[in-house]
């Protein structure tokens, strides 16, 4: 792991309903290249909002998000260009139901990276092989299980060759027996050195894979540190309280 | 002399027609002969049918394109669009877009809230009153503009039925708003809007009969002309009606096929 900072978040705030609901109340953190950051916290703590602010799916109310030296909250910045470099995986997979798996994966590379159909398909097939789903290339999303859908969603994002991968509760909508297969793909990705920000309730995954764990509550980062520090020696009472409930 | 079988049958019952002593089947044949066969009148129905199909086809196209644009203008994110960034251009852009959205709402309300016949008359005598213009074009414009208002609401419903996550997935891959709309949202919206859209097309085809008011010889007017020649009060209209039915049933069948094809993605 290098100390090269890829995403820098400063004073990030996000309000909904004209300030009635403050999801983020000033978040500061840096994500380094190659780092796996796992964000945990009770529901409503703002962790998903934080993640969605990183690629501006939510527009921050205040503060800045700087990606590779560019402040993407600046309206003059072409956000689409930056999103190409930041893959995102959603709780509900969000595969395109009207396209085959292969088309799901090649649409964006063909339109945005100007890849030829053949080039994009080769890349997609290689990724499908890696997650063991090459035989489903011509299936439609509705023909797949939840775990398969989420694995496809991950490789669909990887087709854009992103610098960072954002995971928004990727296993929360899965049947328990399918959680493992998705976490395995994520672990493999982490081992290959992908920069990852993962919002999850899978404490086992956080403990095993994370370089750094961030605990959030009520729109603040309460505590952050190595898994060892957070899970074995939490300093803040709120962290201790949360971990007591979930572990 | 060469004389067709239809003529021979007609000659055979003509005395009975004169004497007014036709039986049921002879009466039916008399009606068909006078209203369809004599003087090649069936050709007039076919010409009328051709005009109806032509007007309907182009009006559907106008309605689809304009309706889709109106639907997009009515989406919440467009309706409440904020200027992205400071400065003169973004601010003016946002104001223009919001104004267009307001206009789209007004347009839909006016076109749905007033009778099509009135709109046809205004466009024919008002807007094109002092220019010579093909009535087919007047018909396409009037029916197309009217249909667009209904299509807009159907498309808007279709777009709103697509989950928000689909937009987010498209945008998170780096696709812009327009590309996400074209490749991801609209194809899914079209699928769920298809049954309602089929309804709208059927309505439009039948409503083109209103164009007989501005003397466009479409299918209804063709039947009406023949009635004025033969004084048969039923038969010409029934023939026209059967032809409408044939068109509508064919269209329903085609769209049903399309629907089954689109359904292949959700087994």
Per-residue pLDDT of chain A (247 residues; tens, 9 = 90+): 457 999 999 999 999 988 889 999 999 999 999 999 999 999 999 999 999 999 999 999 999 999 999 999 988 899 999 999 999 999 999 999 999 999 999 999 999 999 999 999 999 999 999 999 999 999 999 999 999 999 999 999 999 999 999 999 999 999 999 999 999 999 999 999 999 999 999 999 999 999 999 999 999 999 999 999 999 999 999 999 999 998 8
| Closest residue to B173, CB basis, from A98, A99, A108 | A108
| Cβ atoms A137, A124 nearer than 8 A | yes
Per-residue pLDDT tens digits for B201-226:
999 999 999 999 998 999 999 999 99
Categorize the per-residue pLDDT at B1 as very low, low, confident or very high, splitting at 50, 70 and 90. Answer: low
Question: Looking at residue A1, what is its pLDDT?
Answer: 46
Taking one residue from A and the other from B, the number of pairs with CB-CB distance under 8 angstroms is: 81
Q: At what angle do helices B235-262 and B219-230 cross, to 10 degrees?
A: 160
Phi/psi for B217 (5° steps) reads: -85, 75
Q: Which residue has the higher pLDDT, B193 or A18?
A: B193
Q: If DSSP codes are grouped into helix, strand and coil, which group holds residue B254? A: helix
- Average pLDDT taken over every residue of chain B: 92
Residues in B touching A92 (Cβ below 8 Å)? 163, 165
Question: Looking at residue B76, what is its pLDDT?
Answer: 87
Question: Looking at residue B85, what is its pLDDT?
Answer: 66
Residues in A touching B168 (Cβ below 8 Å)? 57, 88, 90, 94
Phi/psi for B258 (5° steps) reads: -60, -45
Distance from A2 to chain B by nearest Cα, in Å?
Answer: 26
Categorize the per-residue pLDDT at B17 as very low, low, confident or very high, splitting at 50, 70 and 90. Answer: confident
According to DSSP, residue A33 is labeled T
Report the pLDDT averaged over residues B92-121.
Answer: 94
Residue A142 touches partner B, C-beta closer than 8 Å: yes
According to DSSP, residue A231 is labeled I
Q: From residue B48, how far is each of B43, B203, B244 by CA, in Å?
A: 9, 18, 11
Phi/psi for B77 (5° steps) reads: -70, -25
Closest CA to A93 of B190, B240, B172: B172
Q: If DSSP codes are grouped into helix, strand and coil, which group holds residue A15? A: strand
Closest CA to A192 of A149, A121, A115, A130: A130
| Closest residue to B266, CB basis, from A84, A97, A99 | A97
């Amino acid at each position: 792991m290098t100390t090269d900072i890829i995403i820098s978040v400063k004073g990030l705030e996000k309000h909904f309903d004209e300030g009635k609901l403050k999801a983020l109340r000033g978040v500061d953190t840096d994500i380094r290249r190659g780092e796996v950051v796992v964000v945990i916290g009770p529901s409503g703590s703002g962790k998903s909002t934080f993640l969605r602010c990183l690629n501006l799916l939510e527009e921050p109310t205040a503060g800045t998000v700087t990606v590779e030296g560019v402040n993407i909250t600046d309206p003059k910045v072409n956000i689409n260009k930056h999103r190409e470099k930041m893959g995102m995986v959603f709780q509900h997979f969000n595969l395109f139901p009207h396209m085959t798996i292969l088309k799901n994966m090649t649409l964006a590379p063909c339109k945005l990276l100007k890849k030829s159909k053949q080039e994009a398909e080769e890349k997609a097939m290689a990724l499908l092989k890696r997650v063991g789903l090459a035989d489903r290339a011509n299936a439609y999303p509705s023909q797949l299980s939840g775990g398969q859908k989420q694995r496809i969603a991950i490789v669909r994002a990887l087709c854009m060759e992103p610098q960072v991968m954002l995971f928004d509760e990727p296993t929360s909508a899965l049947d328990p027996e399918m959680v493992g297969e998705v976490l395995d793909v994520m672990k493999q990705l982490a081992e290959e050195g992908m920069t990852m920000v993962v919002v999850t309730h899978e404490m086992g995954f956080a403990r095993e894979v994370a370089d750094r764990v961030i605990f959030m509550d009520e729109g603040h980062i309460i505590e952050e540190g190595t898994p060892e520090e957070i899970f074995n020696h939490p300093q803040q009472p709120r962290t201790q309280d949360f971990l007591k409930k979930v572990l | 002399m060469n004389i067709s079988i239809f003529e021979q049958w007609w000659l055979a019952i003509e005395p009975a027609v004169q004497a007014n002593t036709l039986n049921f089947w002879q009466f039916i044949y008399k009606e068909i002969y006078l209203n369809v066969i004599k003087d090649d009148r069936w050709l007039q129905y076919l010409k009328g049918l051709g005009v109806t199909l032509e007007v309907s086809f182009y009006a559907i196209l106008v309605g689809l394109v304009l309706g889709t644009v109106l639907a997009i203008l009515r989406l919440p994110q467009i309706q409440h669009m904020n200027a992205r960034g400071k400065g003169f251009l973004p601010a003016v852009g946002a104001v223009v877009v919001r104004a267009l959205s307001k206009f789209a709402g007004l347009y839909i309300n006016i076109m749905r809230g007033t009778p099509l016949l009135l709109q046809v008359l205004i466009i024919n005598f008002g807007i094109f009153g002092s220019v010579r213009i093909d009535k087919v074009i007047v018909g396409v414009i009037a029916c197309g503009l009217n249909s667009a208002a209904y299509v807009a609401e159907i498309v808007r419903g279709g777009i709103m039925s697509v989950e928000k996550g689909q937009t987010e997935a498209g945008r998170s891959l780096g696709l812009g708003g327009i590309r996400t709309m074209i490749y991801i949202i609209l194809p899914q919206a079209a699928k769920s809007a298809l049954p309602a859209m089929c309804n709208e097309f059927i309505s439009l085809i039948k409503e083109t009969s209103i164009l007989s008011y501005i003397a466009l010889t479409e299918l209804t007017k063709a039947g009406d002309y023949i009635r004025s020649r033969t004084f048969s009060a039923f038969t010409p209209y029934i023939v026209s009606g059967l032809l409408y039915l044939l068109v509508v049933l064919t269209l329903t069948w085609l769209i049903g096929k399309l629907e089954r094809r689109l359904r292949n993605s959700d087994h």
